[in-house]
Structure 1
Amino acid sequence: MNVSIDNSALESMQSLLGEQFEETLVFCCSEFERLENDLKLALNSNREEAIRHAHSLKSNAAQFGAISLSSTARAIEQGLMRGDDAAVSENMEQIAEQVAGSKSQLLQWLATNP
């Protein structure tokens, strides 16, 4: 499975946030993990809450260029909205790896682009 990061999105956010960029990116990476955990907890008990967590994960990931994570979260969100349990299950199998891989690549990008 591929983890893709859009460097131009990161450069745009870095330009926009200036001094706040590093702190915001590190916080965003921890949010990926929190949202993933919240999504997993809500998945079998509260569909509306699970949709909200998937939506937030999708949006946060897209904002910081974590393209593949955003795409996986979008597939989960849409699957939940359609009641497509197979799509949800298939994408949930990838979400932890996408979160970990995206976080790793974003922090590595940060280390090489101070």
Structure 2
Amino acid sequence: MSEIDVNINSDALFAMQDLLQDQFLPTLEFCLTEFDRLYQDLENDFDSNLTEATRHAHSLKSNAAQFGADSLAQIARQLEHALSESNMALASELKTTLPAHISATKDAINRLV
């Protein structure tokens, strides 16, 4: 298995830490679980509700970017655009990369904090 190229913007992550102070860790924990929930919701709606699937990709993009998970946000952004353009082949390809990338992203963030 090849290594996943995860990019964490530590400046953004630590800016959130400075902003949230004692609420940072609980908020981060919630956000990291949201990555999984949003992926599962995306998976559930992917073949049946394009509007909802697109919304889940958008939310994943926003949550990832907010905590400096730049590479995850980029994949979610590309997925959101593919879905909005009904490019299901590309969307499906991107979707299959998400579980491993989410896991690697969570590991990378947890190593930093």
Normalised by the size of structure 2, how large is the TM-score? 0.94
Indicate the residue corresponding to 1:9 in structure 2. 12
Indicate the residue corresponding to 1:46 in structure 2. 49
Aligned pair partner of 1:24 in 27, 43, 57 = 27
**Gap runs ≥5 in structure 2:** none
In 2, the alpha carbon distance for the partners of 1:51 and 1:93 equals: 15
In 2, the alpha carbon distance for the partners of 1:56 and 1:98 equals: 16
Runs of 4+ off more than 6 Å: none
Indicate the residue corresponding to 2:104 in structure 1. 101
The alignment status of 1:87 with 2:90, answered yes or no, reads yes
Instruction: Determine what percentage of the aligned residue pairs are the same residue.
Output: 45
In 1, the alpha carbon distance for the partners of 2:112 and 2:44 equals: 30
Report the residue type matching 2:67 in the other structure.
Answer: F
Deviation at 1:3, TM superposition (A): 1.1
Query: Is contact 1:26–1:107 with CA below 8 Å preserved after alignment?
Result: no
Normalised by the size of structure 1, how large is the TM-score? 0.93
**Gap runs ≥5 in structure 1:** none
